[in-house]
């Protein structure tokens, strides 16, 4: 029997491990079976958001049903952590006389170590092991500088990324065709392995994600609409949180329900010269996918980032005050700065936050409140439906000034001017802060003077003064310059 182990790759499209597994099953006339093993304690240890766990469960059931139609059963098991997961996978291999295991690699250090241990376990039992890469557009380690090292600045990385993409292209796995070939081969499934009839239910803590459609609807409706209507205005609209100016595809990329290579391939079909012309409006969105590859390459080349280390070591000695009262106010969206509070409300209510606002609230936490970026990173991980370690770590270290190609320490977002610039009429603020719905477009961005004069208690006071906080941040960071 051939085994395909599903992890963060819950899709049939452009799935290299699944393609190889199905092809080998046909060539050897052996049945193919899929496996998923949840790890509730490991997910909790890694602060995986309950809403993302629910989202993953929904998509795993979708994949299970599609595989069942192709005569590929999906075995579901539960293990508390990665060590137990290896034991479960080994047991399944022995029970079903598995001859070869296929999987798509995961990037994070604990996952890499787990897979290495699992490979050794399989070798001990004379079982073949094959792993593939499915989470980036260009292979990790392929985009390097002249010294054959990882770029530490994004812009030259982007230039080389485009050059490699143009000259070498990229391969899309024809996994759907391979599965059809397997189905048509009509290979018998041995006794004891049956196509699953019921739904898979995780034992891990979950939070309802039903406001986010399944990938089938996204592929048929949302992606075509984005490419046809929204993407041409992406450079102008992407920073406006009150409108649908972004793709909102990040949750699907995070769990592997969507292939980044497929997205680029579709974009190249829609805009054939997109790789050659960075001035095109559509390139603004491709740029975000290149940023995603950049951060994943960073984690690949510097795995110690998985342990929440500063990329820039000179900031290792920063003694963050980490005031508990200020951190609590930030988490609850009660800082007294409307754009920060509305963004945090959006996160708590929806499990998602607009990208511009992620930068604003991260800058506010680290530079206005002088709270360690790792605490913000953890809070995002616990609540975001689209969280993945590479992007989350890269974004927080960028905001804190401790990362690779980071925002310099002296660049400190003014939350009031950010609000005025990107939500000028207060539409977004009023949606998540109904306490301020009656304030004028001018006053809503920082209503404290009006509140004081009219003795209104509709909104909480500002927990820090912007000017004073900025000066404190500069002094704090200068100690390490």
CA-CA-CA-CA dihedral for 79, 84, 86, 87, to nearest 10:
-100
Q: Would you say 174 is a known binding-site residue?
A: no
Alpha helices in 255-388 (DSSP H): 260-270, 283-301, 324-332, 338-350, 355-363, 373-383
Q: Would you say 285 is a known binding-site residue?
A: yes
CB 423 within 8 A of CB 237: no
Q: Would you say 47 is a known binding-site residue?
A: no
Q: Would you say 470 is a known binding-site residue?
A: no
Q: Would you say 33 is a known binding-site residue?
A: no
Q: Would you say 453 is a known binding-site residue?
A: no
Which residues is 35 bridged to in the sheet?
5, 75
Q: Would you say 48 is a known binding-site residue?
A: no
Alpha helices in 70-143 (DSSP H): 82-95, 109-124
Q: Would you say 459 is a known binding-site residue?
A: no
Does residue 322 come out as left (phi exceeding 0), alpha (psi in the -120 to 50 range) or beta?
left
Q: Would you say 361 is a known binding-site residue?
A: no
Q: Would you say 294 is a known binding-site residue?
A: yes
- Count of CB atoms within 10 A of residue 470's CB? 17
Q: Which residue has the tokens 């997910």?
A: 43
CB 349 within 8 A of CB 432: yes
Q: Would you say 386 is a known binding-site residue?
A: yes
Q: Which residue has the tokens 């953890």?
A: 378
Q: Would you say 154 is a known binding-site residue?
A: no
Q: Would you say 290 is a known binding-site residue?
A: yes
Residue 461 to residue 193: CA distance in whole angstroms: 62
Residue 239 to residue 197: CA distance in whole angstroms: 45
CB 267 within 8 A of CB 293: no
Residue 186 CA neighbour count, 13 Å, CB half: 0
Q: Would you say 288 is a known binding-site residue?
A: yes
Residue 13 to residue 177: CA distance in whole angstroms: 9
Residue 215 to residue 256: CA distance in whole angstroms: 10
- Using a CB cutoff of 8 Å and minimum separation of 24, what contacts does 437-443 make? none
- Ramachandran angles phi, psi of 398, nearest 5°: -60, -50
Q: Would you say 372 is a known binding-site residue?
A: no
Q: Would you say 64 is a known binding-site residue?
A: no
Annotated binding site for FAD: 234, 246-250, 285, 288-295, 386-388
Annotated binding site: 234, 246-250, 285, 288-295, 386-388
């Amino acid at each position: 029997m051939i085994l395909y182990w599903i992890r963060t790759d819950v899709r049939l499209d452009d799935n290299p491990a699944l393609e190889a597994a199905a092809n080998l099953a046909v060539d050897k006339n052996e049945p193919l079976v899929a496996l998923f093993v949840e790890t509730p304690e490991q997910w909790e240890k890694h602060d995986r958001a309950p809403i993302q766990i629910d989202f993953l469960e929904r998509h795993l059931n979708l994949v299970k049903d599609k595989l069942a139609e192709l005569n590929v059963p999906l075995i579901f098991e539960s293990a508390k952590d990665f060590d137990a997961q290896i034991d479960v996978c080994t047991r399944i291999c022995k029970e079903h006389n598995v001859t070869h295991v296929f999987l798509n690699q995961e990037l994070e250090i604990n996952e890499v170590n787990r897979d290495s241990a699992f490979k050794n376990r399989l070798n001990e039992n004379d079982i073949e092991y094959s792993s593939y890469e499915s989470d980036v557009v260009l292979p990790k380690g392929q985009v390097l500088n002249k010294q054959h090292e990882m770029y530490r600045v994004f812009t030259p990385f982007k230039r080389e990324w485009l050059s490699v993409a143009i000259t070498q292209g990229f391969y899309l796995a024809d996994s759907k065709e391979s599965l059809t070939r397997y189905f048509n081969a009509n290979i018998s499934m041995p006794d004891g392995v049956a196509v699953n009839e019921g739904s898979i239910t995780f034992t891990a803590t979950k939070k309802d994600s039903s406001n986010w459609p399944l990938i089938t609807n996204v592929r048929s409706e949302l992606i075509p609409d984005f490419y046809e209507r929204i993407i041409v205005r992406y450079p102008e609209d992407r920073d406006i949180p009150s409108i649908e100016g972004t793709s909102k595809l990040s949750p699907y990329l995070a769990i592997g329900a969507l292939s980044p290579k497929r997205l680029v391939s579709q974009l190249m079909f829609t805009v054939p010269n997109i790789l050659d012309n960075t001035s095109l409006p559509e390139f603004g969105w491709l740029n975000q996918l290149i940023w995603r590859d950049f951060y994943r390459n960073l984690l690949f080349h510097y795995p110690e980032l998985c342990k929440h280390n500063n990329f820039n070591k000179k900031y290792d000695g920063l003694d963050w005050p980490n005031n508990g009262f200020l951190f609590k106010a930030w988490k609850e969206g009660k800082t007294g700065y409307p754009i920060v509070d509305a963004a945090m409300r959006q996160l708590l209510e929806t499990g998602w936050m607009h990208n511009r606002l992620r930068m604003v609230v991260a800058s506010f936490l680290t530079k206005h409140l002088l709270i360690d970026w790792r605490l913000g990173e953890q809070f995002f991980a616990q609540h975001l439906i689209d969280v993945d370690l590479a992007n989350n770590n890269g974004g927080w270290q960028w905001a804190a000034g401790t990362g690779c190609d980071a925002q310099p320490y002296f660049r400190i977002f003014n939350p009031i001017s950010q609000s005025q610039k990107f939500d000028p009429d207060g539409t977004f603020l009023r949606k998540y802060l109904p306490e301020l719905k009656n304030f004028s477009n001018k006053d809503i961005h920082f209503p404290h003077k009006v509140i004081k004069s009219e003795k209104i208690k509709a909104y909480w006071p500002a927990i820090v003064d912007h000017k004073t906080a900025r000066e404190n941040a500069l002094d704090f960071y200068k100690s390490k310059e």
